[in-house]
Chain A
Amino acid sequence: MPISTRELKDVKQLIISIEERFDFSVHQKFREAYIQFEEPNTEFVLDLALTTYMDSSALGMILLLKDHAESLSGSVVIKNPSETVNKILEIAQFHRLLTIEN
Chain B
Amino acid sequence: MGELLNNQDSKLALVVDDSQMQCMVLSALLKEEGYRVFTANDGAKGVSMYIEHKPDLVLMDINMPVMDGYEATRKIKSLSHNSLCPLIFITSMDTDKAYIESIEAGGDGILVRPFSPEVFKAKIKSIQRISDLYGQVKSLQQEQQKDAELAEQLMSGVIEARNFALDKIGIVKQAATLFSGDIQLTSLCPNGNVNVLLGDFTGHGLRSSIGAIPLAETFRAMTRKGFSLQEIVVQVNRQLYDLLPSDLFLGAAFVTVSEHDKSAYILNAGLPDVYIFGGDGNIKHKIESSHPPMGVLPQLIPNTNLTVLSVEKNDRIALISDGIVEARNEKGEMFEFERFEASAKLGVASKNMSEQVLGDVMSFCEGMPQEDDISLIDIPCGGWEEEQSANDNIVSSFKDNTVEPDNQLPSAWKWQLTLSGKRLARVNPIPMALSQISEIEGESEHWQNLYTILTELFVNALDHGILELSSKLKSSAEGFALYFKERESRLAKLDTGFVDIQLSYHPLEKGGRVIVYITDSGQGFDFETYRKNAVDTQHEKQFSGRGILVLEQLCESLVYRENGTVVEASYVWGS
Cβ contacts under 8 Å, B203 to chain A = 24, 56-57, 60
Interface residues of B (CB under 8 A from A): 200, 202-204, 246-249, 251, 269-272, 288-293, 296-297, 301, 322, 372
A60 & B251 in contact (Cβ 8 Å cutoff): no
Q: A24-B204, A96-B292, A97-B296 are in contact. Are A57 and B271 (CB under 8 A)?
A: no
A residues adjacent to B (C-beta < 8 A)? 24, 55-57, 59-61, 63-64, 66-67, 90-94, 96-97
Residue of B nearest to A60 (CB): B247
Contact partner of A91 (CB less than 8 A), chosen from B204, B289, B301, is B289
Asked if B251 contacts A67 (CB within 8 A), the reply is no
Select which of B204, B247, B301 is within 8 A of A63 by beta carbon.
Answer: B247
Sample (7) of A-B pairs whose CB atoms are under 8 Å apart: A24-B204, A56-B251, A57-B202, A60-B248, A63-B249, A91-B271, A93-B292
> Which of A61, A64, A93 meets B291, CB within 8 Å?
A93
Q: Contacts A57-B202, A60-B202 given; indicate if A92 touches B247 (C-beta within 8 A).
A: no
Cα–Cα distance between A97 and B204 once the two chains are bound (Å) = 24
Assess the A61–B247 pair: CB atoms within 8 A.
yes
- Least CB distance, B107 to chain A, in whole angstroms: 32
Which residues of A have CB within 8 Å of B247? 57, 60-61, 63-64
Across-interface contacts of B322 in A (CB, < 8 A): 56, 91
Inter-chain contact A92/B246, CB cutoff 8 Å: no
Does A92 lie within 8 Å of B293, measured CB to CB? Answer: yes
Tell me which residues across on chain B come within 8 A of A96, comparing CB atoms. 291-292, 301
Main secondary structure of the interface of A (DSSP, over half): helix
CA distance A97 to B289 in the complex (A): 14
The distance from the CB of B322 to the nearest CB of chain A, in whole angstroms, is: 8
Residues of A near B251 (CB, < 8 A) are: 56, 91-92
A91 to B288, CA, bound (A): 8
Name which residue of chain B comes closest to A87, CB basis: B272
Within 8 Å CB of B272, what residues of A?
A: 91
User: Does A63 contact B296, Cβ atoms closer than 8 Å?
Assistant: yes
B271 neighbours in A (Cβ, 8 Å): 91
Complex contact A60–B289 (CB within 8 A): no
New A-B contacts (4) at CB < 8 Å, excluding given A60-B203, A92-B251 = A57-B202, A57-B204, A59-B202, A63-B249
Specify which of B246, B290, B291, B292 is in contact with A67 (CB 8 Å cutoff): B246
Q: Which residues of B contact A60 (CB under 8 A)?
A: 202-203, 246-249
Residues of A within 8 A of B204 (CB): 24, 57
- Please, which residues of chain A bring their CB within 8 A of the CB of B297? 97
CB distance from B501 to the nearest CB of A (A): 38
Taking CB as reference atom, which chain B residue is nearest A56?
Answer: B202
Question: Which of A55, A57, A67, A92 has the largest count of B CB atoms less than 10 A from its CB?
Answer: A92
Which residues in A have their C-beta under 8 angstroms from that of B246?
A: 60, 63-64, 66-67
**Shortest distance from the beta carbon of A97 to any chain B beta carbon, whole Å:** 6
**B-side contacts of A66, CB under 8 Å:** 246
Contact between A56 and B296 (Cβ–Cβ < 8 Å)? no
